[in-house]
Amino acid sequence: MTEPVKVVAVSGSLHAPSKTIALVEAIVAELGRQLPVDARIIRVNELGPSFAGALTRAELPREVEDALLAIETADVLVVASPVYRASFTGLFKHLFDFVDQFSLVDTPILLAATGGSERHALIIEHQFRPLFAFFQALTLPVGVYAHDSDFTDYRISSVRLEDRLQKAVHKAIPLIQSHLAEREEIAKTLAGEATVETGPDPRRTVRLAS
Ligand SMILES: Cc1cc2nc3c(=O)[nH]c(=O)nc-3n(C[C@H](O)[C@H](O)[C@H](O)COP(=O)(O)O)c2cc1C
């Protein structure tokens, strides 16, 4: 892998400062310790009131279209939202409502959330995972859930959370690397540079090329 991995992170928090942003920054920093990354963080609270009111992609301001293109072309996504009424925030969902339905097929996605209590830790499994399953994305096996007492002044202050975050990234790295290696093989196959013996699963090549 020679090129930096294009990591795009999305925070669904409506506030600044934000615990969700602190968590996203820590996950992106940990990924950066283990892989060469080119990272961008998208904060929905910065996308502006015209984003909240838009009903079609054509109505979106230029910077939101730019954020959507970044999401759709990312090598790896990190997605995080505060828990609001047992789900992600409305603006987080509103952003993904504009994302092209097939642009995230097989994209590795690390899931994360922050909540006021530990009781909503399963939001990762029953809200985030189904949303990204719809997109046919590769949701990474370990998600990261944090709650208010894991932070002090909007900084992570819990060893438990640091451990969880490192475990999530550690488990993600081989999957990300094999996904990128396979994607490279597919590109070579499509360009006629790989032999059938060394190339990727042809069924997957057909799916990604379509
Ligand atoms: C409108 C609203 C609804 C919330 N609903 C929940 C909830 O259902 N469960 C929960 O654990 N925390 C809930 N919280 C607390 C936030 O999820 C929590 O404080 C979060 O870490 C805030 O993240 P932020 O600092 O990035 O904005 C809610 C907060 C607000 C403002």
Please give the mean pLDDT across all residues of the chain: 93
Is the per-residue pLDDT at 207 higher than 90?
no
pLDDT single digits (tens) 14-41: 999 999 999 999 999 999 999 999 999 9
What pLDDT, on a 0 to 100 scale, did the predictor assign at position 202?
55
From the CA of 120, give the closest atom in ligand 1: 11
Backbone angles phi, psi at 3, to 5 degrees: -70, 150
Residue 209: pLDDT band with limits 50, 70, 90: low
Mean pLDDT for 55-77 is: 97
Q: Using a 6 Å cutoff on CB, does residue 12 contact ligand 1?
A: no
From the CA of 85, give the closest atom in ligand 1: 8
Assigned token pair, 98: 């504009």
pLDDT single digits (tens) 144-180: 999 999 999 999 999 999 999 999 999 999 999 999 9
What pLDDT, on a 0 to 100 scale, did the predictor assign at position 1?
59
Q: Using a 6 Å cutoff on CB, does residue 120 contact ligand 1?
A: yes
Weakest mean pLDDT among 62-66, 80-84, 157-161, 206-210: 206-210
What pLDDT, on a 0 to 100 scale, did the predictor assign at position 71?
98
Is the per-residue pLDDT at 111 higher than 60?
yes
- Which runs of consecutive H residues, i.e. helices, occur in the chain? 19-34, 49-53, 62-72, 90-97, 123, 129-134, 159-190, 202-209
Q: Using a 6 Å cutoff on CB, does residue 145 contact ligand 1?
A: no
Residue nearest to atom 6 of ligand 1 (CA): 84
Name which of 115, 100, 110, 48 is nearest 75 in CA terms: 110
Mean pLDDT for 70-99 is: 98
Is the per-residue pLDDT at 194 higher than 80?
no
From the CA of 83, give the closest atom in ligand 1: 17
Q: Which domains does the chain show, CATH number per domain? A: 5-172 (3.40.50.360)
Residue nearest to atom 4 of ligand 1 (CA): 84
Query: Taken in order 165, 168, 170, 172, is the CA torsion positive or negative?
Result: negative
Pocket test for ligand 1, best of 83, 89, 157 (most atoms within 8 A of CB): 83
Residue nearest to atom 23 of ligand 1 (CA): 82
Q: Check: CB of residue 49 under 8 Å from CB of residue 39.
A: no
pTM for the structure as a whole:
0.92
Give the rounded percent of residues in the chain with a pLDDT score beyond 90. Answer: 85
